[in-house]
Structure 1
Amino acid sequence: MGKIRVRTDIPGPRSREVVAEEQRHLAPGLQAFATWAGVAMASGQGSTLTDVDGNTYVDLIGGIGVNALGHCHPRHVEAIASQAWTLVVGSFTSEPRAALVNAVCELAPSGLDRLQLYSSGTEAVESALRLARCATGRTEVLGFWGGFHGKTAGAAALLGSSAREALGPLPAGATLVPYADCYRCPLGLARESCGLACAELARKAMKAQAAGPLAAVVFEPMQGTAGNVIPPDGFLPAIADAAREAGALLVADEMITGFGRTGRPWGVDHSGVRPDIATVGKGFGSGFPISGVLARDAVSRAKPWSNPSGASSSYGGNALAAAAALASVTTISEERLWENAARVGSAMVAELRRMQERHPFIGDVRGAGLFIGVELVKDRATKEPLDAAVTRHVYEECLRRGLLAMTYTPHVRLQPALTIDADTALEGLSVLDAVFAELARGGRWR
């Protein structure tokens, strides 16, 4: 028997009541997929969610990479419940925080042996930017088209998409250059003959486009919000070489790719690039709000970042958050969940490529572990994306049949829990396949 159980119309009557109650005073701006679903969730277990009407869904969204251990993992639940009885808040050292700092640094990318803790991803990115500027005495930073690092001011200056529109004025000092999205090459070139032209452009921009010497180059080892984009071999090493040549620090944003998501412990493990600073979050706490900045020891000592209260956060590293993250990190590490991510992710990509043979609007399938991207197009030759109305229809049809997946844009993103088993993952993809088959029969996608 499968995991999906659909008992009512979706959204069901109780979901409609709960959502209506929330909407009485909730400000707009929630994530689109949650707003469009109109569903109120009651419980979760592993890679399934059950709503207040008793409908159970396979969850391939995974909190957008947050839900590393799956919903309500016993070890995670026990750690939080036990810690909540003894100590929750405060900046003093606690046993969970002491254990957490050491556990993370033992697992960290080579050379990163200092950790400072925060409560959100964008907070950690802001701190990493401050640290890079303190360590170098410079102010300019370089980011990439398609990049997403948060929504606070400094991080928003590095937004590499239309999401930055109407947010200005944004802080000065940020230069953006193309990322190596080979399926939709920003330079209109073919990978076989491009010679990594985007990396060469970035090298030149570091010298000619910034308003001064660079403090940092901020990059995602693989871009999440842009559509789970995986750069080609050689791109990140070339960027790293250019950054060193410019005297800039390398800041790897491992929010999504860290802690086993891509089939290896870290996203940078695929390229061999060794950052000076890395930001971590999402799967770090498996749903509990916690993030961090990892840095080389010498970099972390830069002042005023390293002064007392210079890099602190009122919520960061509190005992409850530390206990939750410790359970997450130790479970990921001890169970080597990146190996499960690699194994199940490989099975998912293989199935998606079989689906690609059947459905002409699947333009590209790519994946590293449980970091999977699919491009939906009107025409494989032109790569024109499917219309927004069509992709939203795909999302709503998947939802109606018991699948939660980020299928509402032409850049489909799948990032389930690292604990998901192949049967559950493939059950979810069978729903997607059925929706695609219906779409193909109706010809609505053209």
Structure 2
Amino acid sequence: MTIPIFDDLSVARRTILRRAPFDEIDVPVTLLHAIEQRFGARLTPAEAVDRIVRDVRERGDDALRDWSQRLDDYAGPLEVPLERCTAALASLDSDLRGAIELAIHELTRFHQRQLRTSWIEFGAEGALGQIVTPLQRVGIYVPGGAAPLPSSLLHAAIPARVAGVEELVVCTPPQRNGDVDPAVLAAAAAAGVARVFALGGAQAIAAMAYGTSSVPRVDKIVGPGNLFVVLAKRAVYGVVGIEALPGPTETLVIADAHADPRLVAADLLAQAEHVLASAILITPDRALAAQVQTEAARQLEALPEPNAAAATAAVTGRGGIVLVPDLETAFEVANEYAPEHLCLLVDDPWRYVGKVRNAGGVFLGERSFEVLGDYVAGPSHIMPTGGTARFASPVNVDDFRKVISLVALNDTALRRIGPAAARLADAEGLAAHAAAVRVRMELNAED
């Protein structure tokens, strides 16, 4: 099996290009059975998450230990000593340590350009301004278990550090052997993380949201995760901030006759090897479509397991090659889809940047491919998924800072704008509001 070709754009829009609402996620029967075994009841994933979150909120550390034992078969200490993180960094092979250090350098350099400052404007009527201040404590969820992602730790922690966040707390699930992945621990040490906890899933999100005796309460939680992590982030939103509800990763490639089919296929499969990923090519060139289909099948055969199985499922079930009449249509479709990653493998890609309205990140040309963005290009790879690029942005410095408005007006301003404030209050039926304005205007007139 290989990636399908869609000749009919309307069919593609009804299938692989269709954005299903978050609550319409198809839950595999095997997952429902697993939930029933662990919870003793036939629960939906959302119901299971609500039960965990409520339990952690009520029982704190005791609930964390119970759920870690039940779900991850882990009975070790909740917190990982920082000495282990430092030791993991020191023992890392030189190539991997160098890659982590390079990623930190490039991420820092990119995100420093995003910094904005506080400002105050003084005038005859007093002063107006805003105070830009970093969050105090941020929680970062780092996927672990069978697929630990130290890069995700860096892509959340470094923008937060640049923003000036005082304390970074990481939760990451233990691996099957009971240990936390050493590369994740090394990345935590390199990024200046203050505390690391061997916690995964909904219980980790609940712990950071509400706080326990061991886990400090944070101001905001960032980072990708599985369905249970995303549902838990949705459940605690409002108690803490969240950056997004990230779904499975996705890439959309626009390519023309100038593209190398080997590189197009490689870029599609690079994202497809993630669980439940989507990988889509849009092209006006039928010959290229056929070549990419053949090349994708060849490259799939060369992938090891379980990567090959995940990539095959992605390109055959959630991916495809969509034929369109021209590149103009390709960009219209791309903007409708609003992909996390938009890769432009076309002749002179700079010509088309202005046509992009909705995307988490745009990658221009065959030498500026998405995998570089996953690790070391500079922008955070935590990007909007599921079509949320229509209104959301990649993780950036502003995710870790807040703005406080500053108002310091005088009597001159009161005389000019006070009557309008009182009139608007009257229109809204808020008599006390209007009175608060008028009493000051009367005192001002007496002076």
TM-score over 0.5 for the pair: no
Q: Highest CA radius of gyration, 1 or 2?
A: 2
| Structure showing the higher helix proportion among its residues | 2
TM-score bin, normalised by smaller chain? under 0.3
